[in-house]
Structure 1
Amino acid sequence: MNSTLRNKHFLIIILFTALSTIFGESIEFSADSMRYEAAEGKEFTLLSGSAFVRTGSKEIRADEIKLFGEDYNILLCEGNVSVLDSEEELQISSSYLYYDRERKITRINGRSEMQDFKNEMIIKSGFLEYRQEDDIVIMQIGVRILKEDLTCRCEFATYDKAADTLEMTGIPVVYKNEDVFRASQITVLLENDEIQMDGKVEGSLIIKDEESGSDPES
């Protein structure tokens, strides 16, 4: 790293170390370049090029990160966004992400992928909102949930992390091994992959003989 780039990183760290002290939260930043706007009521800081923010248990990376709002609580991230939360055991990737540090809300308008390491699950959707204080993840638009023996699709889903449940509506379909389940509402208990269905229930089960190829009535 050349001296100019090192100086840029150093200045960014100095600025936000001061902010961390003032606002009582540990924050670390780095980027290839930084722009700071100090106009009253319009203050913001723009990190560009390999932008990185560490706040609490979250590590956020993107091509560009803009910080603004009271106490710089709002982060707007664009381009190759990746969020790793070691405490929540989650990783999120998208092209755009909004994060409110004070309210602990993550919102993504657009395609995203969330990896839940605890439940070994991948969630894809066209809209995602993670309300960390409530331990709730809301997903909409082309939702896909992938586990080892379970695949789900729907238009609306709510993931209750505290209760370890996944509730799906909007033409939900669940594929478990070779079985298929459809209903107006489907709830999956993630601890044991139990499936609960309500309203217009449909399903197809593949029943295998104990001995392959044997006639069950012979």
Structure 2
Amino acid sequence: MEIKSQKRKGGINQGLIIFSGLIFVIGSILTYYFILRGVFGNFNTDYLIPSPKIVKSALAKDKPYIAILYSQYTENMLPEGSTWLNDNITTWKKFLDNTNNLYDVISDETIELGQHYKYRLIVLPGSKSLSDREVINLKKYIDKGGSVFATSGTASFSDDGKWRGWEFFNEVYGINFAKAIKNDDFTKIHTLRGGLPITANIPTGFPLKVATWDKPIAAEV
């Protein structure tokens, strides 16, 4: 007895499903495009297509754009057993970790060799002693658009611990040294003036508590 197979009626046609799906996708893209044109008017469709640079950036592993300088020159001039510099750096590392910012800890040599230009921000925590080459390369870095965040008397001593003065401080930050603040009290209260760019959005007379353990200085803006 011969049995002939029969095709199932009402079966699913995969080709038709794929074709319908493509029509749906194209229709959705066109609808989205005309909605954008209705809102923004004529615009360049290149803005809708990510550039190779953006795609590469999205696929690549995030790279740190912040650097913290661990200045061996500064550590060399501190009293034996002092943890002052290390405490400064540890505080910055904790702050950047808490704000989910990637960073590298770099050495004096990194700046001396000009390997610091890839960073957008360089933190100089208590970097009082820097070499002449570091000073020159940091100035070049700033001239090229880099940013520096520093504490203490930056570069006021040379790499061999000799007093250099406030030249770097004055040139880079545009402010003049006034006096060192004594640490006879753990904190000092500084009353802020209003109407200045540096105190924008801060109420006039705001009492700013300044910790003296980090050896702050007073400066004229």
Class of the TM-score when normalised by the shorter of the 2 chains:
under 0.3
Q: Which structure has the greater CA radius of gyration?
A: 2
- TM-score, length-scaled by structure 2: 0.24
Higher strand share: 1
Higher helix share: 2
Q: Which has the higher contact order (CA 8 A, sep 6+)?
A: 2
